[in-house]
A and B are shown apart, each in its own frame.
Chain A
Amino acid sequence: METNEHRTLTESLTSCYSDWVHDALDDIPDAFLITDPAIPGHPIVFASRGFLAMSGYASAEVLGRNARIFQGPGTSRRSVMEIREAIREERTLQISLLNYRRDGSPHWILFHLCPVFAPGDGHRHVAHFLSVQVPIPKRSRRTLVVSTTCRDALRMDADLGPDLAVDDSGLEVEEWREAGEREKEKAASVAGEIVSALARYGKLASRKRTGVVLPPLSSALNISLGRIKQSFVLTDPHLPDMPIVYASDGFSSLTGYSRHEVLGRNCRFLNGPGTDTKVLNLIRDNIKAEKASAVRLLNYRKDGSPFWNLLHISPVRNASGKIAFYVGVQIDEGSKSDEHGLSPEMRQLGAVGQVKVAVRSLSSGVGSSRFSS
């Protein structure tokens, strides 16, 4: 494992939680994984003792890898799709799943997935996913897959070894096991225990995603963007939850947040009581339709003071003609024309233009290849 990658994985937890968090998690005996959706590939950043014992893997073998490595030929595609959907929608899910151990032997678990919100920003953005895994014991001898012989069924029931999951013709013969109430309650209570342990170690100001996790912008693009004085952010629609990948100095002056406090976060931390959800929905719909929005939105600075944000959001395309970012240019409704008579609205549209020109550059490094994976 490369050192950089290793550091990224370690910092995934320690940027949100104190350094003791690993020890605290090690004290919990149950089987669970913690994954980070903001790191490319959505890798495992923590695997519990209980999980390693159950699966037969060593910690170093699973850290940095996607949890799909535990799936195998007998794993239901439909269940996997359901998990993916829950991750996309950031919601809790309980589902029975056939996983495979390191030695290739299958085992049924109740897979309990839940989003874990970052402690630093009022629990508004999902920093991690937790998956608790509770083994499902055998209860019935129903064999759902019929294309098998009695001998195979008997062998399978005996649960003797890894080769028994698949019969001689390669067909799945593992019987479906449905989790009972006991497993469901167990999984939910373990998940609750872990989430509250994390909360105890949470840092108030999240240092998460300070450029380590985000794909860095090319220096050519950074330089071009650095010339633009307006308050603006670039968000990346290709990353989960459209995080901020660039924030201008003007943005820090306007909102009071420093660059490292906002990189990696969704813009919604500017919202607060009284922010019109209809306007937010309009923005979301326009982004879905790849259209620009110009709205007036009640936002809050870091110090809690509100301001009316005349926000202009526009898709920004790269040299290949593909949308690379959305730019959001903020103006405080109270701001006035500059000494030359250039109105705030003109400065705002000018900044949109400058960003579009800069990102369009063939040397900006904002190629389509970055998003092809």
Chain B
Amino acid sequence: MVSVKQLESAYSFLKLNSTEQLKWHIMALKGSNAPLYRLKAPLSEEAGAFGEFSSNAEEGQNLLGTLLLAQWEDRAWKGQLKYDVTSCETKVISGGMKFIAQLNEQWSSNSLALFENTDIQPLGSSRMTNVKICRDNILLCITRGESESPELIPSAVLPREGTLVFVNANPIEYGHIYVVPYKCGPSEVLDKVSLEYISQIAVEVDDCFFRMFYEYAPSTNSCPVYFQANFFAGALPVELLELIPVYGDSFEKGLQILEVAQYPIKTLLFTSKENPKLLAGVVSEICSVLQEHNAVFSLLITDNGRKFFLFPQVQSSSTVCHLSAWECGGYFIFNKVTEFEHTSEEEISNRLASVSLDDEGFQALKQLCCCIANKVVVP
């Protein structure tokens, strides 16, 4: 774990003109070719927004999921990753929570930060700078489509607007990628449009193992919005717990907000059975309020875009680290054998609890969420 402060000091030289850099960067990438995937056309509002969680399963092929895995395996096979993450041992830590530990001696958030010389400038400042980006790392570009079924162009010049998918050469599990929405420049707040985009990607990947992550820490200023994602063949510990209803009910077509019971870090779950657009709308609204208040939080998107877990974290101080979204979900990486062998449910619970909101703060957050849900859902 590296604190935000450490990151800042290490990369302060990159903080200048970050937006300009990113714009330049995207422009530089514009000359590149990559497979282009066009999402399904959003359905009209009357027909239920971009609608229901449709599945490609009956076609016997999920195009986007296959494309992602194929491109990732291709890079792994060509040796473009730093290590084979599938050779890392993982285990379930004994105890009721079933936390997952991985022994990965090569992974470190510091090594992520080293970016080797590439022909392209880094994307913006702060944590995105720790991504080694070069053309080879682009797996594909995702853009909006106008057709009822998705389309794939095996090689196309990158469009003006879209979402770039990069391989993460320091993966935490199979299929680890960066997902970066861009317009003329990067977005610095998680707006409704970006989150709808991301949500539709999660829907069209159409793989129950696919999970997406987002982290926001205000001290990493002018950070462009980016997501990470990978494939976990199994539930993360937070997904297995009992839920307490906070808003809405499961029979409604709309939105439901639940609280995860008995989890060391206080967590909210936003879910909608049939309306991803509404779900993305509510969550993005809540996220933008949190960002306005400089709150630290992470998001975990599971179940083909049907579920958004929100992990609010206490304000950063020099002594407390932020946890990544997968750590909040109960998945921890250890660099040293001794740490891996000796870790316990108690230790992990303490780490999670150390960044959790207190009861009062969590109560306020729940009220805020209900307010926003009412505002967005009712009209």
Contacts and interface: CB of A to CB of B under 8 A. Distances in A.
B67 A350 contact: yes
Interface-central residue, B61, B73, B152, by most chain A CB under 10 Å: B73
Contacts of B100: 362
A350 B62 CA distance: 10
A75 interface: no
A367 B66 CA distance: 26
A274 interface: no
A360 interface: yes
A355 to B, nearest CB: 10
Interface residues of B, number: 35
B233 interface: yes
Interface-central residue, B61, B67, B233, by most chain A CB under 10 Å: B233
A252 interface: no
A348 B87 CA distance: 22
B69 interface: yes
A350 to B, nearest CB: 4
B151 A357 contact: no
A252 to B, nearest CB: 15
A215 B153 CA distance: 43
B90 A362 contact: yes
B234 A356 contact: no
B174 A362 contact: no
B206 to A, nearest CB: 11
Interface string A338-357: 10111101111111111011
Interface string B83-114: 01011111110000000100000000000000
A223 B89 CA distance: 23
A317 B73 contact: no
A21 to B, nearest CB: 43
A229 interface: yes
B213 interface: no
Contact of B67 (A319, A342, A363): A342
B72 interface: yes
A364 interface: yes
Given A229-B61, A341-B154, A342-B61, A357 B209 contact: yes
Given A353-B72, A360-B86, A341 B151 contact: yes
Contacts of B65: 350
A229 B70 contact: no
Contact of B91 (A319, A342, A352): A319
Which 6 pairs show the lowest CB-CB distances between chains A and B?
A353-B69, A361-B233, A350-B66, A349-B70, A350-B70, A317-B86
